[in-house]
Structure 1
């Protein structure tokens, strides 16, 4: 058994773990990232793609946004297709912020490369078997003693299960539908986020890269990928979305997203701290997951370097609950019958307090609930 020591042991090489490792390493804190999957698999996982301005600002401050600023694109509007009407919301003009479109796996590659350049690369292919006494990470053939263990290993990782059973509380919400998530080639770039309310169910079209788009289809809860072969996916996308605008090409990925949310508490117990999906899982509605994970890492780095961890769990839980509330309200709106939802969409996309509140929440520029908060 090989024994190592480090100040901060980070489990998981997703956005939260990698951003935290970079921030701590730059400040001279010894840390080590352990990741159960191979580097190739981690760098190929296509997930989110919308970054909030404050997320990009943090990455820029730490010298991690070079490629993002050069190759990402800025978007400040979204559209709703409903009952034959196409309604546009210029949320940047209303809320004062834009999103950056930059695929998550591209950002992960950038973060790994930055750690490698700094001489602190993650260790890939090292599954963590257990966290013992909340300060020791046990792997096959390796034990890592730490001052702090940070769990960034996702919803199925081991760190959240290291919380004492009598203390751990999980709040899970299951929604009455799932989404088919499709990654596909496009002949022309997806111009912006399009939400389509259709009698056959919700559909979404999201930008990723000039040649790739992300598409969503509402499906029955419990459907499996076998229920959605390629021809059925193409037929439903063609019915619910204006595919002629982008020219749908080859389908690279078709998977089912189980639409649920979960918050695991406490986010911190002694020297064990959770961040990202290990602490909270939200639906893709509202594009909050990756931004919350990086915000966790930002708060956690600052807490470890300066103020201590006492307020970390309280601050992050409040932020997660705000994001969950926004995500659920948007979900309810997107899954309503088109004729029923159209009046609310007209109100939401017209200049006024409802549109401003939505814009601020969507872009993360409002930390507190607006008095004129939009309601689905």
Structure 2
């Protein structure tokens, strides 16, 4: 088989890249080691930046988003006895939208099927060859047959553990592992807040998010090696009520349907291009989820890369040559913002560190420039 672009990884980044290329008449084939059902069911990020929302709308993917997405004008920052609203729309004229990654994936899969773009799920032994010259990819399909696809370009959207990143020789890597994790909880209960709550507390960070008008998402700061079996439903609700509590506000409880421990780290690998191999999303960078940047950063990579590849395959390689450097400028800005939010809100260090965090929180909610800086980064830089 031959195609113009082989995309390794059929999560949101790979699916969106295939969709954007298809709109420009560029052929692509998707390879994914998991089943389609597994990919569609993965629960990940749920906050879409303004630019992400606009891109999905402009490319025909906004129908369900406009009906089911929950627009949010800002967030609450909180510490004991204090809860303050940061009004993104009032400060910068942009908002964010709560719309789960599972829903984005469903929309992208439906668009792929409608367009008839080929994809191989349950692909095993995916191996990249001659990426610096005339690239091709070999794999074993779901029926056990060995296959080969020749292409002009290979794009790795296959995450940290996929084969694409390891195909770039001698990468430079930066990494920060944080001394805490999140206990993530999904519950069948209507949100107890109109906007997301980010709460600093002496017992550890807590967050109240949501997935729909009927489903809420919560996070609690825990140790990286936390035993999830020690967290009963009652213990979770008690901890959330304590860390999120303020006078005159009540946390509504319900049936907990999912619990998981999420590690916290920052990771950047450069370059994001080697020959005819390009990386996008988690294959090149990972951010802690505090700043809601993971999915949005992957979308920014793919938006940039789709334009670059379209121009390159038509004879103009200028954007493709600049892809890695251009993408990394945004990657490092988002990495810094995610580090800043994480460092400010998570209890770590000693009491001296705690006072520094509280000082930063007071400054952030009382200074117009500080609030504007938070809003501008959280709602998203222009694509």
TM-score, normalized by length of structure 1?
0.91
Stretch of structure 1 that moved more, 68-77 or 180-189: 180-189
Q: CA deviation at 1:144?
A: 1.4
CA-atom RMSD, angstroms? 1.9
1:295-322 deviations in whole A, cap 9, x for unaligned? 1110000001125310000011111000
Stretch of structure 1 that moved more, 233-242 or 299-308: 233-242
Q: What is the distance in 1 between the residues matched to 2:204 and 2:289? A: 16
1:213/1:121 CA distance change after superposition, 3 Å: farther
Equivalent of 1:326 in 331, 337, 343: 337
Please name the residue that 1:48 is paired with.
Answer: 45
Stretch of structure 1 that moved more, 105-114 or 33-42: 33-42
Q: CA deviation at 1:238?
A: 2.6
Q: CA deviation at 1:237?
A: 1.8
Q: What is the distance in 2 between the residues matched to 1:246 and 1:21? A: 42
Please name the residue that 1:174 is paired with.
Answer: 177
Stretch of structure 1 that moved more, 118-127 or 62-71: 118-127
Equivalent of 2:122 in 125, 141, 145: 125
Structure 1: where are the runs of 5+ without partners? 368-376
Stretch of structure 1 that moved more, 304-313 or 217-226: 217-226
Please name the residue that 2:322 is paired with.
Answer: 311
Contact kept in structure 1, 2:191 and 2:216, CA below 8 Å: no
Q: CA deviation at 1:245?
A: 4.2
Q: What is the distance in 1 between the residues matched to 2:202 and 2:191? A: 27
Contact kept in structure 2, 1:261 and 1:281, CA below 8 Å: yes
Equivalent residue runs for 1:216-227 within 5 Å: 216-227=219-230
Structure 2: where are the runs of 5+ without partners? 141-145
Please name the residue that 1:352 is paired with.
Answer: 368
Asked whether 1:291 is paired with 2:315, we answer no
Q: What is the distance in 2 between the residues matched to 1:279 and 1:109? A: 24
Asked whether 1:160 is paired with 2:157, we answer no
Q: CA deviation at 1:81?
A: 2.1
TM-score, normalized by length of structure 2?
0.90
Asked whether 1:201 is paired with 2:204, we answer yes
Q: What is the distance in 2 between the residues matched to 1:247 and 1:225? A: 22
Asked whether 1:241 is paired with 2:244, we answer yes
Please name the residue that 2:136 is paired with.
Answer: 136
Contact kept in structure 2, 1:112 and 1:122, CA below 8 Å: no
Q: What is the distance in 1 between the residues matched to 2:106 and 2:382? A: 30
Matched positions, count: 362
Q: What is the distance in 1 between the residues matched to 2:72 and 2:276? A: 40
Asked whether 1:149 is paired with 2:154, we answer yes
Q: CA deviation at 1:276?
A: 0.5
Contact kept in structure 2, 1:157 and 1:278, CA below 8 Å: yes
